[in-house]
A and B are shown apart, each in its own frame.
Chain A
Amino acid sequence: MTIDRTIASDDAANTPVAGSATKARMVGGIPVAWQRTAFFIAVVIAIALPFLVKNFTIFQLTTVMIYAIAILGLNLLTGYNGQFSLGHSTFIAIGAYTTAILMEFAGLSFYGTLPIAATICFAFGFLFGLPALRLESIYLALATFALAVATPQVLKLSPFEHWTGGVQGLLVFKPEAPFGLPLNSDQWMYFVTLAIGLGLAVCAVNLVNSRSGRAIKAIRDNPIAARAMGINISLYKTTTFGISAAYAGIAGSLSAVVVQFVAPDSFTFVLAIGLFVGLVVGGVGSITGALFGGLFLVFVPNIAEEVSKGLAGAVYGVILLLVIYLMPAGAVGLIRTAAMKLATRRR
């Protein structure tokens, strides 16, 4: 089962813990049964939550999942392929505007715009991946950062104003639950996002653990050796960029309908940096980490604000420092270490 590998994903391959010492099947040093239980508990909680909390909290949780999808995309690029991007806010913007414009001017339903947004973002990411091939690590980070800085201004340009609504942005309608389901629109969008997020997570796990996934990781670890093995580096790098952009585009598309509004100021470089923070906090090179990254992005600024309004930025910084100091491998790293310790002790 693919989900088994989610928690252990990256080091699944290099931990052949077999037979004699332990009877339980282990992946990544943690019994599979534990992982399976944790996953099912998580799914049950995720399905039950929208019926237990206020609409506002449902909205926040939906936002968490949307961030998680974008972080997941960034993780495929940065965590698995070793390409930096500080420009993913651009792809979120493209996804969001694609959905908003198609719904407003072409009368498409939201569900119809989703694959179009993903495709456009994939194409855009793939094309941006071509020049990015020439840039290594920090230079690529800077180039993508330029993209993030330029995006809000480009969206405000008057030639596109008829379509983008300029500074005013566009209002978007939130779809109601179909087939007379007894759900309000917040609950419905929560489940839509949950389903899409789970689907994308499964895709990501399968990709990472496939032959292509190993090639992607090989490029990150040692490009020369990868080339010697016959891996087409440029094709893999640009494709990964495209897939990553498509994930961000889907997140953008979802955010457009959940927030019900798109405007240039929603997609500043602050968002791009935020995704990077979420990536590191959740755990680089971990699929489940994206969820923790999303939780951090939505809730920690609110906590910081509770502590002190005037020093909210400073409090946020301190929390971020503590998190990085105490969990150098991200939230998932911490959980993994804890679970492994427990598992060893029980043996």
Chain B
Amino acid sequence: MSIRSYVSLSALVLGMAFATGPASAQQYDTGATDTSIKIGNINPYSGPASAYGTIGKTIAAYFDKINAEGGINGRTIEFISYDDGYSPPKAVEQARKLVESDEVLLIFQSLGTPSNSAIHKYMNVKKVPQLFVATGATKWGDPQNFPWTMGWQPNYQSEGRIYANYILTNHPDAKIGVLYQNDDYGKDLLQGLKDGLGDKTSMIVSEVPYETSDPTIDSQIIKLKDSDADVLVNIATPKFAAQAIRKVAELDWKPVHIVNNVSQSVGGVLRPAGLENANGVLSTGYLKDPTDPQWKDDAAYKEWEAFMDEHYPDGDKSSSFTVYGLAVAQTLEQVLNQAGDNLTRENIMKQAASLDNLQLGMALPGVIINTSENDFFPFEQMQMMKFNGERWEMFGPVISGEVGG
């Protein structure tokens, strides 16, 4: 027994010596070697959400580019991406395959709230980073209970706070009507709006939910109009957001109309709603819109265009998913660069939680990434924008909607 405790003690001492040793000492966890880093990913290439598959393909193309240019700190990136068809049980299977069979260093950008919920606990029990997940739910920024999981895009609560901030500054006497989808996403955003309003929550004169199974939301809009609201916050997914914009115009109601970020697609929402009806609608953005002509001569835009032409020629250059994929891959690149030769899972999370004023090329100027050990929300800033009948125009300052620490 004494021998065993002696051995474990010396192992401990040795381990501490390593941990406190110079940063240049090479330390690896499973998945990292002198020559390569294995990164796992789960994306819905098939099934109901297969449109998001573009994100996975863009990331793969970006790592091809990095490898062609010599890798990160001399290590090539081995990007292993599996299809889960947006099915949670399949996501569990693929996550286990990545962790236990392919032995990746971390899982990056697994997509979808249901799929990430399914592997949330598994990843944290296994202590494998579930880094920069592709969902806007607020629960991914909980370092106390889930120190191995981190989101990336602005979460729904931050977005709600940004709208509150805008309304308080520009329409302090407003009467707010809220249309929201009755699920976790809608409630999350509404919660953010209320938190942002603080003690002025009474400005909300009417909250009207709808179900995704509702055929139309006409009656909800009529109810909101009757409440005498003069600011309408439209927390709806594309189909319903378009219906709302059209109905508001039909009723000849002229509120300040804020449409949430998920429904800002010109082709998918504003055109079906009628471009003249959508004129003057407000929203927020955080990434550069590839179809916006104002970025035509922008250096980062040109870089993105060159990357698309060379490494992902089949990709759709009008799709915001390719911009998203590039930006999130660059964030991971930064984390791995920072980690240097200390490629342990713990250090990966430590570096991911110490991103300092990172300005990505394809993020809007001034929208920066900041994280800390208490702040697992990389993007928390957005800029307001207004639709001019043709395209979105950014205006005003970058607004912060910080939720965490």
Q: Which residues of A approach B to under 8 Å, CB–CB?
A: 54-57, 59-60, 63, 153, 156-158, 166-169, 171, 255, 259-261, 263-266, 268, 270-271, 298, 301, 305, 309-310, 312-313
- Please judge, given known A-B contacts A55-B100, A56-B101, A263-B88, whether A305 and B83 are in contact too, CB under 8 Å: yes
A168 touches B184 (CB 8 A): yes
Question: Which chain B residues lie closer than 8 Å to A60 at the CB level?
Answer: 93
B183 to chain A, nearest CB (A): 5
Question: Which chain B residues lie closer than 8 Å to A268 at the CB level?
Answer: 48, 87
Question: Which chain A residues lie closer than 8 Å to B97 at the CB level?
Answer: 56
Report how far A12 CA is from B83 CA in the complex, Å. Answer: 42
- 1/0 per residue, CB under 8 A from A, across B86-102: the answer is 11110011001101110
Question: Which chain B residues lie closer than 8 Å to A266 at the CB level?
Answer: 87-89, 114, 118
Report how far A268 CA is from B88 CA in the complex, Å. Answer: 11
Q: How many residues belonging to B are interface residues under a CB distance threshold of 8 Å? A: 34
- 1/0 per residue, CB under 8 A from A, across B61-97: the answer is 0000000000000000000011101111100110011
5 further A-B contacts with Cβ under 8 Å, apart from A261-B117, A270-B87, are A55-B96, A169-B118, A260-B92, A260-B118, A266-B87
Query: Is B47's CB within 8 Å of the partner chain A?
Result: yes
B114 touches A265 (CB 8 A): yes
- For A309, give its contact among B45, B86, B96, B185 (CB under 8 Å): B45
- For B83, give its contact among A158, A260, A265, A312 (CB under 8 Å): A312
21 A-B pairs whose Cβ atoms sit less than 8 Å apart in the complex? A55-B100, A56-B99, A59-B93, A166-B183, A169-B88, A169-B117, A169-B118, A171-B117, A171-B120, A259-B92, A260-B92, A261-B92, A261-B117, A266-B87, A266-B88, A271-B87, A301-B83, A305-B45, A305-B83, A309-B45, A313-B46
- Please judge, given known A-B contacts A166-B184, A310-B45, A312-B83, whether A263 and B92 are in contact too, CB under 8 Å: no
Report how far A171 CA is from B125 CA in the complex, Å. Answer: 14
B122 touches A260 (CB 8 A): yes
Query: Is B182's CB within 8 Å of the partner chain A?
Result: yes
- Chain A, residue nearest B49 (CB): A265
- For A270, give its contact among B82, B85, B96, B122 (CB under 8 Å): B85
Report how far A313 CA is from B83 CA in the complex, Å. Answer: 11
Query: Is B239's CB within 8 Å of the partner chain A?
Result: no
A73 to chain B, nearest CB (A): 18
Question: Which chain A residues lie closer than 8 Å to B118 at the CB level?
Answer: 169, 259-261, 263, 266
Report how far A266 CA is from B117 CA in the complex, Å. Answer: 12
Question: Which chain A residues lie closer than 8 Å to B211 at the CB level?
Answer: 157-158
- 1/0 per residue, CB under 8 A from A, across B117-128: the answer is 110111000000
List 5 tightest A-B contacts by C-beta distance, closest first.
A56-B100, A261-B118, A265-B114, A56-B96, A259-B89
Question: Which chain B residues lie closer than 8 Å to A259 at the CB level?
Answer: 88-89, 92, 118
Question: Which chain B residues lie closer than 8 Å to A264 at the CB level?
Answer: 114
Question: Which chain B residues lie closer than 8 Å to A270 at the CB level?
Answer: 47, 85, 87
B118 to chain A, nearest CB (A): 4
Question: Which chain B residues lie closer than 8 Å to A57 at the CB level?
Answer: 101
Report how far A137 CA is from B212 CA in the complex, Å. Answer: 32
Report how far A178 CA is from B45 CA in the complex, Å. Answer: 40
- Chain A, residue nearest B113 (CB): A167
Report how far A153 CA is from B182 CA in the complex, Å. Answer: 12
Query: Is B20's CB within 8 Å of the partner chain A?
Result: no
B49 to chain A, nearest CB (A): 9
Report how far A59 CA is from B96 CA in the complex, Å. Answer: 9
- For B117, give its contact among A263, A271, A298 (CB under 8 Å): A263
Report how far A158 CA is from B184 CA in the complex, Å. Answer: 10
Report how far A22 CA is from B42 CA in the complex, Å. Answer: 57
- Please judge, given known A-B contacts A169-B118, A260-B121, A312-B46, whether A255 and B87 are in contact too, CB under 8 Å: no
B209 to chain A, nearest CB (A): 8
- For B45, give its contact among A63, A265, A312 (CB under 8 Å): A312
Report how far A142 CA is from B184 CA in the complex, Å. Answer: 32
A273 to chain B, nearest CB (A): 12
B365 to chain A, nearest CB (A): 35
B216 to chain A, nearest CB (A): 17
Give residues of chain B (42-66) contacting chain A, Cβ–Cβ below 8 Å: 45-48, 57
A56 to chain B, nearest CB (A): 4
- Chain B, residue nearest A306 (CB): B82
- For A305, give its contact among B82, B100, B213 (CB under 8 Å): B82
B236 to chain A, nearest CB (A): 16
Question: Which chain A residues lie closer than 8 Å to B93 at the CB level?
Answer: 59-60, 63, 298
Question: Which chain A residues lie closer than 8 Å to B183 at the CB level?
Answer: 156, 166-167
- Please judge, given known A-B contacts A56-B101, A260-B122, whether A255 and B184 are in contact too, CB under 8 Å: no
B201 to chain A, nearest CB (A): 22
Report how far A54 CA is from B97 CA in the complex, Å. Answer: 10
Best-buried of B46, B57, B92, B97 by chain A (most CB within 10 Å): B46
Report how far A309 CA is from B183 CA in the complex, Å. Answer: 32
B147 to chain A, nearest CB (A): 17
A263 touches B114 (CB 8 A): yes
- For B86, give its contact among A157, A166, A265 (CB under 8 Å): A265
Report how far A260 CA is from B119 CA in the complex, Å. Answer: 9
Question: Which chain B residues lie closer than 8 Å to A166 at the CB level?
Answer: 183-184
Report how far A268 CA is from B89 CA in the complex, Å. Answer: 12
A172 to chain B, nearest CB (A): 10
Report how far A57 CA is from B96 CA in the complex, Å. Answer: 9
Report how far A298 CA is from B114 CA in the complex, Å. Answer: 20
Report how far A60 CA is from B101 CA in the complex, Å. Answer: 12
A309 touches B184 (CB 8 A): no
Question: Which chain A residues lie closer than 8 Å to B212 at the CB level?
Answer: 153, 156
- Chain A, residue nearest B99 (CB): A56
Report how far A202 CA is from B100 CA in the complex, Å. Answer: 34
A158 touches B88 (CB 8 A): no
A190 to chain B, nearest CB (A): 14
B164 to chain A, nearest CB (A): 24
B100 touches A168 (CB 8 A): no
Question: Which chain A residues lie closer than 8 Å to B87 at the CB level?
Answer: 265-266, 268, 270-271
Report how far A166 CA is from B113 CA in the complex, Å. Answer: 12
Question: Which chain A residues lie closer than 8 Å to B120 at the CB level?
Answer: 171
A158 touches B92 (CB 8 A): no
A255 touches B89 (CB 8 A): yes
Report how far A55 CA is from B125 CA in the complex, Å. Answer: 15
Question: Which chain A residues lie closer than 8 Å to B81 at the CB level?
Answer: 309
Question: Which chain A residues lie closer than 8 Å to B99 at the CB level?
Answer: 56
